[in-house]
């Protein structure tokens, strides 16, 4: 393979990753809503403690917890508690109905690239999940989702 061809392929690869990043950028919190199925309809009546799974995902997002703590502190005024996934069963669903979590997602083109994540508000009583869009820009969608949850609590 010639140097020119290698340079072209390098450029093409970078361009594809750049375009994928733009395409997967987070929706603004105004687009995250009850109507779109991303927030539980009863969340406006929720005044209990929201459980937040810390270290929800893998090492590819090393500063996940730091970002999560900052975003909840700055954008959510309700009661919340950070817990480890293994401790979830210690919190009864009747008292701790909702859990904020994140799950990794991959497709064949993302193997080795860290993949993307989806945020989930899990209703432990109805056993229904309310999810964000898939994103690799997790800090943006995380903040937007938390702001939308705060707005939904006051409607």
Catalogue all structural domains in the chain, each as residue range(s) with its CATH number: 3-153 (3.40.50)
Q: Is 95 helix (H, G, I), strand (E, B) or coil?
A: coil
Q: Per-residue pLDDT for 23 more than 80?
A: no
Average pLDDT of the residues in 78-100: 94
Candidates 65, 85, 84, 67; CA nearest to 75 is 67
Strand ranges across the sheet with 50-54: 80-84, 50-54, 98-105, 116-123, 128-131
Q: At 52, which helix (H) or strand (E)?
A: strand 50-54
Q: Per-residue pLDDT for 80 more than 60?
A: yes
Q: Per-residue pLDDT for 31 more than 90?
A: no
Q: How confident is the model at residue 110 (pLDDT cuts 50, 70, 90)?
A: very low
Q: Per-residue pLDDT for 55 more than 90?
A: no
Lowest mean pLDDT among 18-27, 58-67, 78-87, 138-147: 18-27
């Amino acid at each position: 393979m010639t140097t020119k061809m290698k340079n072209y392929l390098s450029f093409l690869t970078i361009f594809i990753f750049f375009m994928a990043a733009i395409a997967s950028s987070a929706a603004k919190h105004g687009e995250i809503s009850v109507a779109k199925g991303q927030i539980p309809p009863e969340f406006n009546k929720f005044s209990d403690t929201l459980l937040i799974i810390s270290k929800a995902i893998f090492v590819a997002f090393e500063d996940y917890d730091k970002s999560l703590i900052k975003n909840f502190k700055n954008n959510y005024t309700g009661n919340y508690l950070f817990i480890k996934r293994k401790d979830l069963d210690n919190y009864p669903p009747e008292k701790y109905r909702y859990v904020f979590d994140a799950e990794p997602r991959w497709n064949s083109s993302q193997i080795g690239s860290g993949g993307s994540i989806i945020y989930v508000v899990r209703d432990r009583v109805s056993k229904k999940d309310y999810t964000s869009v898939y994103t690799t820009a997790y800090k943006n969608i995380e903040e937007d989702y938390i702001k939308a949850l705060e707005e939904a609590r006051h409607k």
